[in-house]
Amino acid sequence: MNLIFICSYLNVPNVIDAVEREKGDFRILTDDQGLLNFFADIYGRENVIKLPALFASFGNIKGFCLDIVRSFKCKKQLLEVCRELKPTKILFFFLGWNGLSSWLIKKLSTNAEIFYQPEVNLDMLKANSSARLRIKTLLASSIFGIKYKSASYYGYPMIAIDQSFLDRVNAQRLECSIEPNKFRKLVQAKFLYSRKIDVLLLTGGMYNVDEEEYREKMQEVFEILASVCDPANICIKSHPNFPVVEFDFAEQCFVAAVESPANILCYASKCVIGYDSATLYEAADLGLTSICLVNIIPTNASGQKERISAYLLDNCTSQNILFPQDLDELNNLLTQLS
């Protein structure tokens, strides 16, 4: 029995690859309702375990205290469920602390092999000396009995696992890479995407951007796209776990369900366009045209353009992400590609 922990849409291909490659019995564990729905549709609800979402905010004192009480009950119940499954192998991919998941992995590591495969460049995880974040990290560490790290990832503060946790659970590096052509055939055969997608347009999920200005720029982007391809073959995919940004032009396009992973949809696409999404570097490494709009959509945060560009390129093996400077350059680029 394999237990596979997933906390982010970034790791959907890793989980599918692990399930298909390992072949044996498995359970997928997640606290994300969209991921639960996606994997339940594919593999059956009986093979997915829902973890409670705890400690979404440290600022809500009442909610934080209630989550502490809930965590004691949840830990006991879930540990019993997992031990009854008698797992021999546990796989996980996350970087953030994910308290309940990391606690279960720690407890189960005495009788199971642990495998870890981060999807991003861990060298860019930097120490964060913010007193506020260090207090949060200390609280998280105390609740779950694990030494977490106060960190920043491309300027974004986070509580993270570190090497001490990997050593504690004797985590082995999962040395396995997804073979794109084989995985594309698997996706097309197993999951759905016979629909033709000329452009996968990723929306939402942005910080420090005025929403109205964002809508206006995306309208202009759409008008360029509509001049070079059939709008019906443009797939709009909203970022999960963010408010959906509504567009008037969406009714002309194919709008994907929010829980549909963008990094699976891109296997049916020719071109991927977005602002700040890991799917951009995943698409580039698949050999697709990948276009980042970071220079086109204004931000009110100093250095954000540079941080986003660095994040995408640092995690992109091929380095083939395009960064048009303005709408005219985007127009020329798409016209040449059409």
Model pLDDT for residues 65-115, shown as the tens digit of each residue: 888 888 888 999 999 999 999 999 999 988 888 999 999 999 999 999 999
Q: What is the Cα–Cα distance from 173 to 104, expressed in whole angstroms?
A: 19
Q: What is the Cα–Cα distance from 186 to 250, expressed in whole angstroms?
A: 29
pLDDT value at residue 173:
86
Pick 217 or 58 by higher pLDDT.
Answer: 217
Among residues 173, 191, 208, which one ends one of the domains? 173
- 187 and 121 in a single domain? The answer is no
pLDDT value at residue 192:
56
Q: Rounded to the nearest 10 degrees, how much is the dihedral formed by the CA atoms of 157, 160, 162, 167? A: 180
Among residues 173, 196, 211, which one ends one of the domains? 173
* DSSP type of residue 295: T
pLDDT band at 123 (very low <50, low <70, confident <90, very high): confident
Domain range for 149: 2-173
What CATH code is carried by the domain that includes residue 291? 3.40.50.2000
Q: What is the Cα–Cα distance from 27 to 108, expressed in whole angstroms?
A: 14
- 119 and 137 in a single domain? The answer is yes
Of 82, 100, 186, the residue nearest 140 (C-alpha): 100
Range 117-146 burial, b when 16+ CB lie within 10 A, else e: bbbbeeeebeebeeeebeebbebbbebbeb
Question: Model-level pTM?
Answer: 0.87
Coil/strand/helix, residue 195: coil
pLDDT value at residue 203:
93
- 274 and 144 in a single domain? The answer is no
In degrees and rounded to multiples of 5, residue 13 shows phi and psi of -60, -35
**Cross-strand partners of 159:** 150
**Contacts (Cβ under 8 Å, ≥6 apart) of 159:** 96, 97, 133, 136, 137, 140, 148, 149, 150, 151
Strand ranges across the sheet with 125-127: 125-127, 149-153, 156-160
In degrees and rounded to multiples of 5, residue 113 shows phi and psi of -80, 140
**175 — alpha (psi -120 to 50), left (phi > 0) or beta?**
beta
Q: What is the Cα–Cα distance from 335 to 64, expressed in whole angstroms?
A: 52
- 230 and 105 in a single domain? The answer is no
- 268 and 323 in a single domain? The answer is yes
- 265 and 294 in a single domain? The answer is yes
Give the ranges where the chain is alpha helix by DSSP (H): 12-22, 33-43, 61-84, 99-108, 131-144, 163-168, 180-190, 211-228, 262-265, 278-285, 304-314, 327-337
pLDDT band at 193 (very low <50, low <70, confident <90, very high): low
Give the residue-averaged pLDDT of 320-328: 95
Which single residue is written with the structure tokens 């989550």?
67
Q: pLDDT per residue over 271-314, tens digit each?
A: 999 999 999 999 999 999 999 999 999 998 888 899 999 999 99
- 193 and 90 in a single domain? The answer is no
- 152 and 272 in a single domain? The answer is no
Coil/strand/helix, residue 28: strand
Give the residue-averaged pLDDT of 118-146: 86
Among residues 128, 158, 173, which one ends one of the domains? 173
- 142 and 6 in a single domain? The answer is yes
Tally of domains within the chain:
2
Which single residue is written with the structure tokens 């237990």?
3
**Contacts (Cβ under 8 Å, ≥6 apart) of 39:** 15, 28, 30, 47, 48
Q: Could you give the C-alpha distances from 29 to 50, 82, 271, in angstroms and in order?
A: 6, 10, 32
Q: Could you give the C-alpha distances from 330 to 23, 218, 303, in angstroms and in order?
A: 44, 12, 22
- 220 and 273 in a single domain? The answer is yes
Mean pLDDT (the chain) is 89
SS (H, E, C) 234-265: EEEEECCCCCCCCCHHHHHCEECCCCCCHHHH
Q: What is the Cα–Cα distance from 56 to 50, expressed in whole angstroms?
A: 16
